[in-house]
Structure 1
Amino acid sequence: MTNSAATPPRSRFQTFDEPGHAKGPERIEALRAALREIRADGFVVPRADEHQSEYVPADAERLAWLTGFTGSAGTAIVLADAAALFVDGRYTLQAPEQVETGTITVVPLAETTPEAWLATHLKPGQTLAYDPWLHTPDGVARLERAAAKAGATLRPVQDNLVDAVWAGRPRPPAGRVSLHPDALAGETREEKRDRIRAALAEGGLDALVISDPHNLAWAFNLRGADVAHTPLALGYALLPREGRAALYLTSPDIDADLRAALEPLADCRPRAAFAEDLARLCAGAARVRLDTATGAAALKDLVEAAGGIAELGADPITAMKAVKNAAEIAGTRAAHRRDGLAVTRFLAWLDRAASEGVSEIRAVEALEDFRSEGGLLRDVSFPTISGSGPNGAIVHYRVTRSTDRTARQGELFLIDSGAQYADGTTDITRTVAIGTPTDEMRDRFTRVLKGHIAIARAVFPQGTTGAQIDAFARASLWQAGLDYDHGTGHGVGAFLSVHEGPQRIAKTGTVALKPGMILSNEPGYYRAGAYGIRIENLILVEERVVPGAERAMLGFETLTLAPIDRRLIDPVLLGAADAAWLDAYHARVRETLSPDLDGPVREWLEAATRPLAQASG
């Protein structure tokens, strides 16, 4: 990696392709023709695969192919005389630019839900078709209520209608499946199997269908390469309370070592055998747990058709996976130290290069290169959000060749990024001043920082939920009549998904926080058309000793190690207690990272982490 401001490095993990371009009416018309062939009047196209994944393989990008919309969430409904695309607040600007609005109406979810739209657009006697592999039973129930309200009928189809008209559809993924070492997992497959079986017995269940690839990866200590940014092997597993488990992986790339490792407890079966094996398992009215979040409606249909009882509820693995063990925590700490070195080198580079002008793409490539040099890097954990000036105000901004801009003096640069290392997953956001910030920028940044520190310093009793502490991060902004529209924190996996449930710090965070859970701490502020501010570290829930406490208490350990831009801080507004926390954090960053940094970067870090009371330089 060169530190020259003149030569941008090459990107390894992220591309900067243009967003999907508006498709003409021909694909919508092709879908309507397919509807006429099966004598149906409409079809629902969610942005989903059969596991309800955040990142889907190329062959499941049906919504993007049909409409041109490339966002990570959305639903299209195509009727004979109308078509609509429903998007949330992240995509109300992007969607109209990507779809042919003369053919498809973009509908913000804040205004109308798909169910409400159907109730007014379906006609009595019509039939709405859907693919039962792409909807949960709860989602199907909502569609049924909407169809009934309109006097219409909901009908599942065996073959997806988009697939039928999608010429050149990509093949299913076939990434390599590998073993995740027990030393990093901290628990063997057999030990995890026994814990899961105990949970099934406690719930009076005979078997579990593992439909979430994250849970499959955790339960069997596997990792894969079927989707971008998350090391998943797509597929299913059947885990009976008694007897051998079976795996049904999409990828055929399963070597002898993997089969040998799994042989003591599970059979590797062809994916095509899954439905027949599930039916056999359900014989005799077996009670089978299906995950409400990721289990497709088609699974419920299969279980019930075979005489089984579909018990809809949470997959018990989800809660187990959320609480990291000692080995996972140690690996995560090691990953954050490695990542902190990469991010610090990047921030020092950015500080030097900013005077000559740094583009958003150039920043992404530089950061990826610094991370690659550190070792054990497998991928970025999500597409880097690299936004300068007004682009930083777009919360989920993703730079492309056409939107790329060079940061100007007097602007802010927001970069939100993360990495997948073999021993842990990271996610960090830093907002940096390019030149001299305005007083307003410093005020807003300091309020966001106060909220960040309030979460980091929080002490709370066991049983507290993320919703109960979310307001800590917003209080200083609220005092100025300000707020942000995203959650304060999401759960994070251990060399798994950077967005992991069930824990979160948000108004909707109803799960109690437990020691061993990892979350993000990322309050922000966004002034549309001007700048964005977000400060993000990852935090670990830990037990906290409070002298004289009458209840068991918890707090957070901050895992992320990288400096926070002191030039953007108003020390008077920050206050003494928060300044003391920041100085202590910066001292830990400096002491941890300095021994592995070369002279110029070490000197930069020394200046960037000096106590606030000292003059900045």
Structure 2
Amino acid sequence: MTHTAPPPSSARFQSFEDPGHREGAARIGALRAALAQRGLAGFVVPRADEHQSEYVPPHAERLAWLTGFTGSAGTAIVLGDRAALVVDGRYTLQAAEQVDTALVTPVPLAETTPEAWIEANLPPGGVLAYDPWLHTPDGLAKLERAAAAAGGRLEPQNLNLVDLIWVDRPGAPRAPVVPQPDALAGETAADKIGRVREALARAKLDALVVSDPHNLAWTFNLRGGDVAHTPIPLGYALLPREGMPVLFLDPGKPTPEAQAALSGLAEVAAPDALTARLDALGSAGATVRLDAATGAVALRRRIEAAGGRVDVGPDPITAMKAVKNAAEIAGSRAAHRRDGAAMTRFLAWLAGEAPGGAVSEIAAVARLEAFRAEAGDLRDVSFPTISGSGPNGAIVHYRVTRASDRRLAPGELFLVDSGAQYPDGTTDITRTVAVGAPTDEMRDRYTRVLRGHIAIATAVFPRGTTGAQIDGFARRPLWEAGLDFDHGTGHGVGAFLSVHEGPQRIAKTGHVALQPGMIVSNEPGYYRAGAYGIRLENLVLVEERAVAGGERPMLGFATLTLAPFDRALIDPGLLGPAEAAWLDAYHARVREELSPLLDAATRDWLEGATAPLGG
């Protein structure tokens, strides 16, 4: 049974427009004029909002508006005669395609940091301007050292200079704030607040500034819609060790249900009341924790100017949020079953339609979103779907636009990395499939990536192990062939919150110990520029693991994601017996758990897609 793809315009949650660099010359020219009028040598434009969010609201998309670059991380430094855009390995190819390289030079982070570029290019005596709401204290200290090394200095601006020239800038979002039911949260907001207060007491702190909206949403069991793909309300909270917390939200945002849930639990004040409350804390001589990851320099300076002491460090909520409770784990399993059924319907549809050349990247996105909507309870996609055919699949965080859209063609690979937000969980899955017959090289690379994926899925490790210590497990099969990939192997995932959640991650920089209840992704890959990309991603749950005769408490991973891998791309001769056994067992579980949720035609397809390797 086949399905007809809806037209691209039917995609519900994703835009396919690309700002590109059509107006880049005029916009950068306007910024340089503003710099010259103020006697400034340059301006730093990070991809950030006041909360250091990954997904920012339209009015905070300053980097995209100025340069055309739409990635989720990057920093532009615009001087009077040159400009650079520093991006990490995920966005090297994307940045080169999206920006006007005659105006802005894309710079790989692996070669040059923003600080190193500033040190090398800021003219002696030059004043580099910045917005203190868009930088953390640690980040600003690095910029200050770089400017000083160049013989210049940094200077804060009360008004962001991009906002000054962005004449049609959108307004701030005002999405409703709703309660997250305790049955799904697994813990009341009052109990969470109590745990935070205990952490403040242990650290001898008087109050916490909650600058991360994800932490605000988790602590107070609230959800919102101020940014795309992540159900959070933008705002701040002050959580004192004693006394009632204060939420700083647009007063029109909380629904009556949210107001009722907050009654007696927290005060709600307008956002512009935050500075006065910070002044009051400072004048009382309070010691206030400011989150090192998301707390803006402007917050620190306000408290200190009023006489308070700022303790920059981790927000204790971040670590609490990372460890999922029984209700959140149950919700994640339920969400993954629903999502797996939708993904399997999509893969079956794709197998029937793609070889004929009728499917484009955008049409694939639209069809996958439709299947997820039909599965029920879909609130949003958890990030813009990466739908990359052929060479586009080699762009790690490729985002299809109407200009870049191409049809899936026989002899190519198609990479689709997608996820969804459901009230009971957040999903993220990547599958790579062959359209027609793959080459021997494609099968070799795919199987090596799969072996790395299995190595993570089956890893057993002692308590206290960090993601950095096991990151190499995923890379070894590629290393053996002189290959690698330039992104982390896994990131944390929230519970109907951010699809990219810290502090846990499996990466060379993942220095936080993994704990039972944490959810992380398992997504090794391989990318051949200009030809194809391969990534295989499941979400896994850290859990206790009993080892017969073991002497130490051990942990392992339980796989949450349910969807078949492409057997046509697997070279059984490269798999060891244990790896083949894992794959057959995983496919048997996929078949068992998803079949009841599928129509007869898709069940028939799944039988073949999950058949044992030797069958």
Q: Which stretch shows the higher mean deviation, 87-96 or 511-520?
A: 87-96
Superposed, which structure 2 residues align to 1:421-436 within 5 Å?
421-436=422-437
**Partner AA of 2:267 in structure 1:** D
Partners of 1:36 and 1:446 in 2: how far apart? 56
Number of aligned pairs?
613
For 1:178-257, what aligned pairs fall within 5 Å after superposition? 178-250=178-250, 252-257=252-257
Q: Percent identity?
A: 71
The answer for the alignment partner of 1:40 in structure 2 is 40
Query: 1:25 — aligned with what?
Result: 25
SS of residue matched to 2:379: strand
1:525 is matched with which residue? 526
Are positions 1:269 and 2:269 aligned together? yes
1:367 is displaced (CA, Å) by 0.5
* 1:572 corresponds to 2:578: no
TM-score of the two chains, using structure 2 as the length reference: 0.97
| Secondary structure, counterpart of 2:367 in structure 1 | helix
Residue equivalent to 2:291: 291
1:146 is matched with: 146
Give the secondary structure class of the aligned counterpart of 1:90.
coil
2-structure distance, mates of 1:413, 1:476: 22
Q: Does 1:330 align with 2:334?
A: no
Report if aligned partners of 1:465, 1:512 keep a CA contact under 8 Å in 2: yes
Which one-letter code corresponds to 2:466 in the other structure? T
Q: Contact (CA 8 Å) 1:233, 1:251: kept in 2 or not?
A: no
SS at match of 2:488: coil
1:89 alignment partner, SS class = coil
How far does residue 28 in structure 1 lie from its aligned partner after superposition? 2.5
Q: Aligned partners of 1:581 and 1:185: how far apart in 2?
A: 33
1:534 is aligned to: 535
Worse-superposed segment, 249-258 or 578-587: 249-258
Equivalent residues of 1:583, 1:612 under 8 A apart: yes
Counterpart of 2:3, as a letter, is S
Q: Which amino acid aligns with 2:614?
A: A
Query: By how many angstroms is 1:122 displaced?
Result: 2.8
Confirm or deny: 8 A CA contact 2:19 2:65 kept in the other structure: no
* Amino acid in the other structure paired with 1:289: R
Distance across 1 between alignment mates of 2:527 and 2:107: 24
Counterpart for residue 349 of structure 1: 349
When residues 386 and 97 of structure 1 are mapped into structure 2, their CA distance, relative to the original with a 3 A threshold, is closer
What one-letter code is carried by the residue in structure 2 that aligns with 1:396? H
Of 271-280 and 567-576, more deviation after overlay is shown by 567-576
- The residue matched to 2:95 in structure 1 has which SS? helix
1:106 offset after TM fit, Å?
Answer: 3.1
State the distance in 2 between where 1:475 and 1:97 align. Answer: 31
Shift of residue 66, structure 1, vs aligned partner: 2.0
Equivalent in the alignment of 2:111: 111
Bigger mean CA deviation after superposition, 17-26 or 128-137:
17-26
Q: Give a deviation string over 1:273-328, Cα, whole Å, max 9, x none.
A: 00101111232321100000000000110110111110000000000000000000
Given residue 474 of structure 2, which amino acid in structure 1 is its aligned partner?
A
- 3-state SS, counterpart of residue 90 of structure 2: helix
Gaps of 5+ in 2: none
Deviation at 1:8, TM superposition (A): 4.5
Q: Distance in 2 between matches of 1:219 and 1:72?
A: 25
Aligned 1:407-556 pairs, distance under 5 A = 407-556=408-557
Q: What CA distance in whole angstroms lies between the structure 2 residues aligned with 1:112 and 1:579? A: 42
Is 1:75 aligned to 2:75, yes or no?
A: yes
3-state SS in 2 of match to 1:14: coil
Asked whether the 8 Å contact 1:19–1:400 carries over to 2, the reply is no
Residue identity in the other structure for 2:611: R
- Given the superposition, is the C-alpha separation of residues 374 and 47 from structure 1 closer, same or farther in structure 2, using an over 3 Å criterion? same
Q: 1:231–1:103: structure 2 CA closer, same or farther, 3 Å change rule?
A: same
- 1:585 is matched with 586
Give the whole-Å Cα distance in 1 for the aligned partners of 2:36 and 2:408. Answer: 52
Distance 1:100 1:403 in 2: 16
- Cα contact 1:383–1:398 (8 A) shared by 2: yes
DSSP 3-state at the match of 1:129: strand
AA matched with 2:515: K
Q: Is the 8 A contact 1:464 1:513 kept in 2?
A: yes
- Displacement of 1:24: 4.4
Structure 1 distance, partners of 2:583, 2:325, is: 28
Matched, 1:137 2:137: yes
The separation in 2 between residues aligned to 1:251 and 1:427, in whole angstroms, is: 33
CA contact (8 A) 1:23 1:99 kept: no
Task: Give the counterpart letter for 1:567 in structure 2.
Answer: A
Judged with a 3 Å threshold, the aligned counterparts in structure 2 of structure 1 residues 453 and 90 are, in CA distance, closer, same or farther, namely closer
- What is the CA–CA distance in structure 1 between the aligned matches of 2:59 and 2:216, rounded to whole Å? 21
Structure 2 residue identity aligned to 1:215: N
Superposed CA deviations along residues 534-567 of structure 1, whole A, max 9, x for unmatched, are 1111000000111111100111110011111112
Asked whether the 8 Å contact 2:419–2:428 carries over to 1, the reply is yes
Shift of 1:201: 0.4
Q: 1:375 aligns to what?
A: 376
Is the contact between residue 135 and residue 297 of structure 2 (CA under 8 Å) also seen in structure 1?
A: yes
Q: Partners in 2 of 1:597 and 1:104 — Cα distance?
A: 50
- Measured after TM superposition, the shift of residue 50 of structure 1 is 0.6
Contact 2:24–2:68 (Cα < 8 Å) also in 1:
no
CA distance in 1, matches of 2:64, 2:5: 36
Following superposition, the deviation at residue 19 of structure 1 comes to 4.2
**Which whole-Å deviations, capped at 9, do the CAs of 1:24-69 have from their partners, x for residues lacking one?**
4332232233334444332211111011111111111112222222
**Deviation of residue 356 (structure 1)?**
2.0
Q: Match for residue 614 of structure 2?
A: 613
